[in-house]
Amino acid sequence: MKLYYAPTLHSYKVCAVARYLDSPVEYVAVDLKAGEHRSPAFLAINPGARVPVLSEGGKSLWESNAIMMRLALLAGSDLWPQGVAQSDVLRWLSWDSEHFKPHAGAFYFEHIIKPAIGLGDPDPAALAAATPPFLASARILDDHLSGRQFLLDDRLTIADFAVAVTLPFAEQSGMPLDGFPSIRDWHARLEALPAWREPFPQSAQAPAA
């Protein structure tokens, strides 16, 4: 299997899962700045021109959450649980995609991505618009995590890897996390995992969007 990645948020969580599971993948770095993701060879495995991509037995799987599920299945890991717990994981993956990450991602984009690609300073209007929905979502997440080790009580799952993916960059992105101690404690538990701290197989770089 080959896992195509770049230093992006979506690659971050997939590479973290792969490293946590010690998945038997060959890591293939894709140089986004050089446009390798738009090459005919790469478009043949993902016409969407995005990373990450898992290539397995002549078939390609893209979309980071699907790749995390596949890696967990191949490993026989409870990171992708069966039964009722699986629905709970899907709930948090869906909630993250629709609510938490879009607003957390706004802080990440304005403070980290824009300067990195020469788009200027953070837009105060964009940050002001993102702040109320971010705080509302963070309150839901913090309340849920109170008294829990992970999103599914004491069980680590791919949902934790997905929902937490912007948190390593919270301080740098100016994410307003004051007043959310359960989120900070939860991320500290993830930070104790070597695979989370250093997900990429090469020198760590600041992820792109």
Handedness of CA 150, 152, 157, 162 (dihedral sign): negative
- Going by pLDDT thresholds of 50, 70 and 90, the confidence category of residue 207 is low
CB 209 within 8 A of CB 29: no
pLDDT value at 59 more than 60: yes
Average pLDDT over residues 177-200: 97
pLDDT value at 203 more than 70: no
Write down which residue in 60, 78, 96 finishes a domain.
78
CB 82 within 8 A of CB 152: no
| Structural domain for 27, as ranges | 2-78
Average pLDDT over residues 95-108: 96
Q: pLDDT at position 114, please?
A: 87
Provide the 8-state DSSP code for 122. Answer: -
**Shared domain check, 90 and 190:** yes
This prediction has a pTM of 0.93
CB 4 within 8 A of CB 28: yes
**Shared domain check, 130 and 90:** yes
**Shared domain check, 99 and 68:** no
**CATH number of the domain within which 183 lies:** 1.20.1050.10
Distance between CA atoms of 139 and 201, rounded to whole angstroms?
A: 34
Q: pLDDT at position 149, please?
A: 98
Q: What is the per-residue DSSP string for 138-181? A: HHHHHHHHTT-SBTBBTB--HHHHHHTTTGGGTTTTT---TT-H
